[in-house]
Structure formats: structure tokens, C-alpha cells
Amino acid sequence: MTTVSRVVAPVDAGWKRFAPWVGLAVGALALQAAFAGSNAFPGGLDTLISGPIDEAGAWMRENRRSHPLFTGVFMPISDIVDWVVSGLADVLAWIPWFAVVAIGAMLPITRRMYRQALLVAVVMGYVGVFGLWELAMATLAVMIAAITLAVVVGLPLGVVASRHRRVEAALRPVLDAMQTIPAFVYFLPLLMVFGIGNVPGVVATFIYALPPLVRLTVLGITQVPSSAVESSKMFGATSLQTLVKVQLPMAVRSIVTGMSQTIMMALGIVVLIPLVGAGGLGTAIFESLNQRRPGRGLAVGLAIVAIAIVLDRIARASAERDPLKRLAPGAMAGLAVGVLVIVAVGRGAGWVDFPAVWKPNAFDPIDDVVTWLRDNLRGVTRAMNDFVVADVYLPLRDLLVDVVAWPVVVFVTGWIGWRLRGAKLAIFGAAAWLVIGAVGLWSATMDTAVQVLLATLATLGISVPLGVWAGRSPRLESVLSPFLDALQTVPSLVYLIPFVVFFSVGMFPGLIATVMYSLVPGVRITALGIREVPVESVEAAETFGATPRQILLRVRLPLAAPTIMTAVNQVIMMVIAMVIIAGLAGGGALGFLVVESLARSKFGQGVEVGLALVLLAMLLDRFTEAAADRLRPPAGS
């Protein structure tokens, strides 16, 4: 009996280990055989959403100026936002250019942040020197309006959520959705409600940029030491006094970080608002893309970065609470009087417009370099393009679209979700694909999924090894840091321009631009994970004689795996956002459909594409998050 039990037990254990995989293979093969030849999702429901929304869009166009919903609610909101943006733009245009520079530098000076003040003056000078002042002031007006709105709404929301757990729990999925939805998706419903112009651009920027401020406000307030709060209450402070005099001051660094992230998020979407009729520097970037002028695109992109730097430094200076860093009241009053004198002198002398020095075509030598490289490396670039498109992308796309039956995809997704986190994730994964198919976007979403897969694999193939290397070499990390900062701050659309010139339109230039844009979180988060591996674990491995290679493969990478999976998650989110922008370069699939929906006012199609994009993003987000949780060691281990 003992012998039998010793033989049977391992067999049973092995069967239990492999049984789920056998079930996966059998189920997938059975479904493929049963549904062979019916790869496309059955039609019949593809107008379920688009039909009513198209009708609603037509009704809105007809009743925008007469229905009480518009005249009493949306039009007043639109008028207020438009008045604010137009007023800001008019004021910025009325003030002499050197007074605008002085005002931008004044707040950092009042906090004795002289380097920051100099940086503000230099970057604003760059905008004017290259003939982009007027466009920059229009963009600055939109940014100020959107960020101010985000602060007015986000800061109180964060405070309330930090004090009421139910509010935080209710807000969390909303903020998740706001961060997951690609920026393009906001434009269509806002166009339906507000029409074209600055208003949908401001509102879209506000919605897209709001979550970081709310989240980091909640984080900052909840991390205030309970001893400080209790001490305040012991001295008789009310709840409001404790909030204003203890919690908010102690959470100010986290809140400022949230404001900085909000500014960077706004920077990412402000270049796209010309698609809804807004003006500014984004218009010049789209012109550069259409004209295939990477030099001009870089010049304009740097001007947008300059505006983000100005707003970020002003926000940091305004949040500085150290009284020792502030100038004396008399000196601050003198600065204010000096600015007023500068404005009066400038207006009186007619020195309002920035004097023309150069124009963005000063960057045209970059065009010549890109053109020379294109012409002299045509054989290499064409071979790269043909290999990726013909030998990798098209076979994968055809496999998923034309060969694999749609129930197989649904079943495999559900199985992976069940293995990662159980029934809830399995049901969500399967249901997401069913909804995508039901709205008639199965093939386009499969196409986009292939592009996301290729871009993610290429990005991780570069960023993870670089991150591992940087995590082990502080010197390399310091060398990479300025390049990563540059990649992170340049607007996403700017990446597209040189690669369109280099490879012409199509999927491949969008793929390369996507990889460039998505590298930063992969490198930085991977490096963070490698650095945070406990020193004790590495020393223990060295004590037992492990080589550096063995330590890397068996200690550092396994312990850093959850953090690296977080890097994968962030890369995927950035890839999805950029793959849609790549639709402007001929990437096709859902990206092209979004652009077409905006250009032709196909509201129903736009909402369906937005839904498909959101579900695809949520699928990838939830599944990579679950995989990271599986790799995370148990608490206390």
C-alpha cells in the first residue's frame, strides 16, 4: 500500500498541475473546430450604439440654439469658459512681451528661487526668439484655464476623499477610467455638447489632467502623521482648522507633485486640441506633420515644453511655505511696482510684440539631415519597413482576424483571467471582447491589439535591459536621465513627424514613434525595481558564491519582478495612447477610425471606437496588474 501511494501521489500532483493547461488546449481546439470559417464576429448589433448616438448628434445640431438643455446649461458653461480663455489670451496679448516674462519670473523670485526664475525667463525668451510668441500665448491661455479648473475641482475633491473613505472608494473607478481612456475619446462627446472651438479643448484637457491631482492630494493628506492631527485636536483646533493649518501644509509636497503631473498630462493633450477647432501651438505641430517638417515640429514642440516648465515652476514657487525663503514684504511690493512700471512703459512706447529674430524655420537644417538620411539609407529603411510590416505585423494580424475563431479569443482571455485572479477577471475579460465584437469592431480591435503587442514587445526589449543596467550603475542612470527627461517632455505628436519623413506613411513610422514615446517608464520603473532589491538578499547570494550573472538572474530579477510588471503596465498604457496618435500617420485600425470620426463628425462610430479602446486598455491594464500581484511576494516574507 505504501509503495502504491508513493507512486500515485506524484502522478496525481502532476495531473493537477497540468490539468488547467490541458483544459485550455482542448477548449481552444474544440472551439476552433466548431467555429472554423466564422472568424469574424457575427453582425447584427453593430448599430446598437452608433444608431441612437448618430440620431442624438443630429438632434443636438438642430436644437443647440433653442433647446433649454443647451440654452440653460451647456451654452452658459461654454460662454463662461470661452470668455475666460479669450480674456486670458487678450490680456497676454495686451501686456508687453518683456512684462509677461517678468511676471512669469516674479513669483519664483519672491521665494528666492533665482535659478527657477532664470529658467522661466530663458524658456519664455526661446518662445519669442523663434517667432512663436503669439501661438504660445494662445496655448498658455488654454493651459492656465484648464489647470486652474483642475485645481479648483481636484483639490477639494481630494480633500473630501481623504476624509471620507466611501467618497474615495466611489471616486477610484472614475479616476481609473479617466486615466485609462485615451485623450482622443474625450473629444467626440464634447464636440456634440459644446461644438468646435476652445471650449471642448479646455474641458478635455481638464478631464484628462484631473486624476493625478486628486490622487496625490488624497495620498498627501492621508500620509500626514496621526500624531500631528491628534496634537492639533488636543489644543482645541476644529476639524477645519486642523485641515487648513496642519494637514494641507504637511501634504503640500504631495499636492505640488500632483499639480506637476497635472501640468504634464495637460501638455500631452493640448497639442491635440486643434482637432476640435482650438488654436495655439498644436495647430503649428499639425501643419508640421502635414508638411513633413520635423525641424519646425521640434521647434514648436520645445515651445510647448517651455510653457509646461513655466507653469510647473510657478506652481512650485506658489506652494513654497518656508518663510525664510520669502522676500521681505517691502521687496515684494517693489517687485510688483516694477512690473507695473514695465507694463506702462511698454504699452506707452508700443513695445508689445516680441521682436522678430528668427522663425521656426531656423530648425530647417534638421529637415535636411532627416532627408539626407532617408535618401542615403533608403535600402536599409525599406528593408526594415518591409520586414516588420510584411513578415511580422501582417501575418499576426491575419492570424487573429482571419484564422483564429472569435470564441477562441474570448475563451483564452477568460481562462487567463481565471488563472490570474479568479472568476471576476475571467468574466470581465470575456465580456469585454463580446462587447467589442457586438459593436462591429472585432477586426479593427484585433488589428490595434497586434500593433500594441508589437510596440510593447519592442519597447520592453529596449527599456527593460536598459533599466536593469541603469539600476545597477548609478553612472549610467545619471547619463540617461537628461535623455529620458527630454523624451518624457516632448509632446507625443512631435515624435511622429521625423519618422513619417524617414519611412513615409504607414504602420511602421507610428510603431517607431510609439516605442520612442513609451521607453521612459519602462527604463525608470525597471531601474527602480532593481535598485530596491534588498541589499541583504544580494549579500547572501554573494556569500554562497553566486556570480554576478547568477545574482542578476536568480535574485535581482525575481525580486524586482512585481515592479517590472508595473513598468510593463505603464508602457502598455502609453503605447495605447500613442498607437491612436499613430493613426494620423496611416497606422489604420482603431486609430484611423478615431481620426475619421472626428474629421467627419461620425459621433456614433466615434463613441463605439472609444468604447473599444477603453475596453482594450482596461483589459491590458487589469491583466498586467493581476500578473504583477501574482509575482509580488507574500506580506511579511
319: cell is 506652494
Please name the residue that has the C-alpha cell 446649461.
Answer: 73
pLDDT of residue 431: 92
pLDDT of residue 1: 45
pLDDT of residue 508: 84
**CB-based burial of residue 182 (10 Å sphere; 0-12 exposed, 13-18 middle, 19+ buried)?**
buried
What whole-number distance in Å separates Cα of residue 177 and Cα of residue 195? 24
Query: Mean per-residue pLDDT for 288-304?
Result: 84
Number of H helices, E strands in the chain: 31, 0
Q: How confident is the model at residue 325 (pLDDT cuts 50, 70, 90)?
A: low
pLDDT in tens, 338-379: 878 888 887 777 777 777 677 777 787 888 888 888 888 888
Q: Largest Cα–Cα distance in the chain?
A: 106
Please tell me whether residue 352 adopts helix, strand or coil conformation. coil
**167 neighbors 161 (Cβ within 8 angstroms):** yes
**CB-based burial of residue 474 (10 Å sphere; 0-12 exposed, 13-18 middle, 19+ buried)?**
exposed
Rg (CA), the chain: 27
Give me the CATH topology for the region 66-367: MetI-like fold (1.10.3720)
417: cell is 483571467
Percent of the chain with pLDDT over 90: 3
Lowest mean pLDDT among 47-51, 262-266, 291-295, 395-399: 47-51
What whole-number distance in Å separates Cα of residue 281 and Cα of residue 28? 51
pLDDT in tens, 129-146: 888 888 888 888 888 888
What percentage of the chain's residues is helix, strand, coil (to nearest 5)?
85, 0, 15
User: What CATH number labels 377-406+441-601?
Assistant: 1.10.3720.10
Query: Mean per-residue pLDDT for 524-548?
Result: 81
What whole-number distance in Å separates Cα of residue 317 and Cα of residue 112? 9
Q: What is the pTM of this model?
A: 0.77
pLDDT in tens, 384-438: 888 888 888 889 988 888 888 888 999 999 999 998 888 889 999 999 999 888 8
pLDDT of residue 427: 92
Which residues, at least 6 apart from 311, have a Cβ–Cβ distance to it below 8 Å? 143, 144, 147, 263
**523 neighbors 466 (Cβ within 8 angstroms):** yes
| Short-list 87, 107, 109, 100, CA closest to 127 | 100
* pLDDT for residue 627 is more than 70: yes
pLDDT of residue 636: 47
Domains of the chain by residue range: 66-367, 377-406+441-601
| Element spanning 417, H or E | helix 406-421
pLDDT of residue 488: 72
**CATH fold match for the domains 66-367 and 377-406+441-601:** yes
pLDDT in tens, 572-621: 878 887 777 777 777 778 888 877 777 777 777 888 888 888 888 888 88
